[in-house]
A = this chain, B = another copy of it.
Amino acid sequence: MKKYASEGEDMYLNRDVITLAQAKERLAAVAPKKITQEKQVEETLGYILAQDIIAPFPQPAFRRSGYDGYGILAEDDRDYPITLTLAAEVPAGSELKKKLQPKETIRIMTGAKVPDEVAKVIMLENTHMLADGKVVIKAGSRNDNITPIGEEFEKGAVLLTKGTLINAGAISLMSAFGFATCLVYKRPKVAILATGTELLQPKDAPVAGKIYNSNGPLLEALVKENGGKVVYCGQIADDIKSLEEKLDDLAKKADLILTTGGVSVGDFDFLAVAAKESGQLLFNKLAMRPGSPTTAFVYEKTLVMALSGNPGACFTGFYLLFESLLQNMQGNSTEIKITKMKLAHDYQKPNSFDRYLRGTWEETATGKVVSLVGSDQSSALGNLHLTTCFFKIPHDTVVTAGTEVEVWCLPYK
């Protein structure tokens, strides 16, 4: 039998504690670079533009009729009412093939191309068609009802800049200028691995001592919510050989590997072992709770972020360490907004590490107030769906109601 205790102690004591900020720096230093790809414009919703979009032609590209009505020459624009001969009709999408002559008019529709020689479009309401096909223009018009070429955008105008998050309006703008594709940043490919002999899959019958894998599905959903592409989501038992084989495989498939479980000081915490053996350990002890044994390392050139197996710690670690990596690879920055709010209640459990507690905030008459949501235990999983922010209790501190605390607001859905 192995000498458990001494090994455990040894591994624990050898860990260098670093701060969250230091951990983020080390991750950023080895994070994969963002990659661009050409994509069909209609499939770019939610992507970040990796190029400026420049107008290839003015908008409108032609003199455009603002109304349905009749087009007249400048020389006929007097002595109302006037009677003109209908020369042609110009529906939207068509073009007058001949030149309009004096005393002639064209029936023109909203959005249609106004011939160069036409000075005004008289709205339908101010006209009347006679039985013989002639048209009476009852009164003139102050406005010409014609939108000039380039009124909205000149040729060469910057329509959208590199770095823009593509929303529906941006898609319509690119489409209006005939762009079929554009350059965007690729979604990072993420592999998710839950480790633990205790893990059951959804359809398994309950087994004494075992639990259902909830962190795998949690991380899969968090990666998707934050723009990553999940290329693998699975689970393995606590076994160093299986783990290394799995990491070998995932390092080939994914840009980033995200694991949960196996990072603590226990004898079956093989992620901790793999991290040490990788020779490229970034950190394995953070001065924060929950998730102090959160570990990161590079395995076969692929960054592995190894989160705690405790649901609360796993959730917190994802947002505090992984979310910005994912966003940066997509050309985005973190969607977490750090601000300050008053705490609604006391929190009097000092810890030698900073705590990031799951909370929720609300707008009150005297400003925004944050409070704990559900349990503060890192093993709790009943409050993750209610968490809209984390709030920080600095190390070695007790806090009373009304104290201002740092709040990390999540892009909560």
Give chain A's interface residues, CB within 8 Å of chain B. 1, 3-6, 8-9, 12, 41-42, 45-46, 57, 59-62, 64, 66, 68, 86, 89-95, 107, 109-113, 124-125, 127-129, 133, 135, 147, 152-153, 159-160, 164-165, 167-173, 175-180, 196-200, 202-204, 206, 208-218, 220-222, 224-225, 233, 237-238, 264-268, 309, 311, 315, 375, 379-387, 412-413
Contact = CB atoms under 8 A, between A and B. Distances in A.
B206 A384 contact: no
Given A180-B202, A197-B94, A218-B171, A266 B212 contact: no
A111 B173 contact: no
Nearest to A309: B111
Given A59-B381, A93-B210, A169-B385, 10 more contacts: A4-B89, A12-B125, A93-B209, A167-B413, A169-B218, A172-B215, A172-B221, A175-B213, A177-B212, A178-B204
A239 to B, nearest CB: 11
Contacts of A233: 42
Contacts of A46: 413
A359 to B, nearest CB: 13
A173 B125 CA distance: 63
A214 B170 contact: no
Given A176-B381, A178-B204, A168 B212 contact: no
Contact of A384 (B6, B60, B113, B173): B173
Contact of A93 (B173, B178, B199): B199
28 contacts: A4-B129, A5-B129, A6-B128, A41-B202, A42-B217, A45-B221, A59-B382, A62-B209, A91-B267, A92-B196, A92-B268, A93-B209, A93-B238, A94-B209, A95-B208, A109-B267, A110-B264, A111-B196, A152-B375, A167-B225, A169-B218, A175-B202, A175-B214, A175-B218, A176-B214, A176-B311, A177-B212, A178-B212
Contact of A169 (B206, B238, B384): B384
The residue in A92, A206, A218 that gathers the most chain B C-beta atoms within 10 A of its C-beta is A92
B264 A5 contact: no
A99 to B, nearest CB: 15
Contacts of A384: 168-169, 172-173
A82 to B, nearest CB: 15
Contacts of A268: 91-92, 109
Contact of A211 (B111, B160, B266): B111
A211 to B, nearest CB: 7
Contacts of A206: 57, 61, 178
B152 A382 contact: yes
Contacts of A41: 202, 217
Nearest to A233: B42
Nearest to A411: B413
Contacts of A172: 214-215, 217-218, 221, 311, 315, 381, 384-385
Nearest to A57: B206
B198 A92 contact: yes
